[in-house]
Every structure is written in C-alpha cells, then in structure tokens.
Amino acid sequence: MKRTLTSLMLAGSLLGGTTAAAEDLLQWQTNSLTYLYGKDFQVNPKIQQTLTFEHADSWKYGDNFIFVDRIFYNGKKDSNLGPNTYYGEITPRLSFGKIFGQTFEFGPIKDVLLALTYEFGEGDSDAYLIGPGFDLNVPGFDFFQLNFYKRYPEGNRAGRGVWQITPVWSYTLPVGQSDLVIDGYMDWVVDNDQNSRGTYHANLHFNPQIKYDLGKALNWSAKQLYVGIEYDYWKNKYGIEDSGSFKTTQDTASLLVKYHF
C-alpha cells in the first residue's frame, strides 16, 4: 500500500536500531518474495511477469506494510513505461490502543488506528493517503482490517481528495496435511466523477491470493513456501473509464510462487 517519509523513518528505526531497541519496539516481522505469471491484463501489455518483495511488521505503536513490484512485459513495451516498470506502496498505521495503553474495543472493532499510505512508481503514480483504520474481529479470519482513506495524488492530478475504502484480510483453511490461505485486499475508490470533471473515474480493484502451503505438505517448514494463484479484477483500471473503444476493466489470474523469510 503506501505512505510518506514518516513510514520510512518508522521502518528504519525498527530494522536499523540496536538489538535492545529492536526488542523493545519490534513485536514481529515477516518478509517474502513472490513470482507471478499472468495473461490478459488491460491498459498495459497483456502478458506480465512480476517479482514482488513484501515486508510486514507489528511494533510498539502500530504496524507497517511495504511492497515493491518489478513488472516485466514479456518482451513487449508499454507505450509510457517501456519493457518493464516498478510500483510500490508503504503503509504504516498508528494504533490508538497501543499509543494510549487503552482498549478501543466495541462491537466487532478490536482497535482504532490512523492509517497512512504512500503510492510510488514510474509515471504519474505518486499519491498520499490518510484516514481512519480499524482492526475487526471477524470469526474464522486470521485478521481483518478496514481502512478509509482520503486520496491526495501529487500535483494537480485528477482524483484528488476522493475517498478510498480498503479492506485487507487473511483466512486459513486446513486441507489434508497442510493449509490453504486465502488473503488479499480490495481498493474501492468511490464515485467521484463530478469531483474530477470526468477524467478520473470511480474504480474497484479486487486482488486476492489463494495459496497452498507446500512447505508444510512436504514436511519442510510451515508458512514458508506457497504455490497458488492471484486473482486480479480491476474495474476502470487506473481510474480510466471502460468503453467499447478502450477496454480498461481487467479480469485475470496469475500463477504464484511465494517464499517467506
């Protein structure tokens, strides 16, 4: 997802401090590398291979999520980006419960947070997001987050100051001697066509992964090596309205291999 210099400072303090400081600040962390191969993408070239680095952690005052994609267009060239490109997001969230040492639980809500995101990449892709976040207690789920953002693209780009709703989830289902993990997110930029003079349209990006814990099945290490698919549905991709002359609604899937370390 995304954020600002604040998140970089937080990540630096977590990962670059002394051992004692890390023990006080860092509660857990995980890193992963993912390879994806898929076809039938829209706007950009049809066939794409992606290498993704992800980092997630929980610390004394909140949590952080970072990912960076390196996307290759299988020998083709994007008209704006060339044969490959990159995109990433930095998302720190500050927990009111952790900061004030009190519980903010009511109904299904486990905690209330300030959610921040920085989106970055080639071309006109930089944007800053800020808004309230909630950790929810949803039966059966490993976790379920619901974040509400106001979007602020850099400069005078369209879509400035509109709302985005982002749920994030993970669900584990036992399958034989191993597990199937279904996790992912949805970014829904709500209707804002009048706000941006029709140049940036409401769009919805639904992006779950369905992964089999191959490491556990082979009696290696659980929660380390996964294989599966990533589904990618994006209505009005990049906020470009889908039309008969230019298709921008994306509906595809990619093969996935993911390794945690």
- Domain assignment of residue 187, given as a range: 5-256
What are the mean pLDDT values of the chain's consecutive 10-residue runs (261 residues total)? 36 40 80 98 97 98 98 89 94 98 95 98 93 98 98 84 96 97 97 60 96 96 97 96 95 98 95
pTM, two decimals, is 0.86
Residue 180 lies in a domain: yes
Tokens of 69: 């994609």
Instruction: Decide if 47 contacts 39 (C-beta within 8 A).
Output: yes
Residue 132 lies in a domain: yes
Specify the number of domains making up the chain: 1
Q: At CA 91, angle to CA 21 and CA 141, rounded to 5?
A: 95
pLDDT at 193: 53
Instruction: Decide if 138 contacts 153 (C-beta within 8 A).
Output: no
CATH number at residue 28: 2.40.230.20
Q: With helix as H, strand as E and coil as C, how does the chain read?
A: CCCCHHHHHHHHHHHHCCHHHHHHHEEEEEEEEEEEEECCCCCCCCCEEEEEEEEEEEECCEEEEEEEEEEECCCCCECCCECEEEEEEEEEEEEHHHHHCCCCCECCEEEEEEEEEEEEECCCCCEEEEEEEEEECCCCEEEEEEEEEEEEECCCCCCCCCEEEEEEEEEEEEECCEEEEEEEEEEEECCCCCCCCCCCCCEEEEEEEEEEEHHHHCCCCCCCEEEEEEEEEEECHHHCCCCCCCCCCEEEEEEEEEEEC
Nearest to 120 by CA among 90, 88, 94: 88
Residue 209 lies in a domain: yes
pLDDT at 80: 80
Instruction: Decide if 91 contacts 1 (C-beta within 8 A).
Output: yes
Residue 40 lies in a domain: yes
Residue 261 lies in a domain: no
Instruction: Decide if 136 contacts 146 (C-beta within 8 A).
Output: yes
Nearest to 192 by CA among 244, 248, 153, 138: 153
Length of the chain: 261
Distance CA 239, CA 257 (A): 29
pLDDT at 12: 41
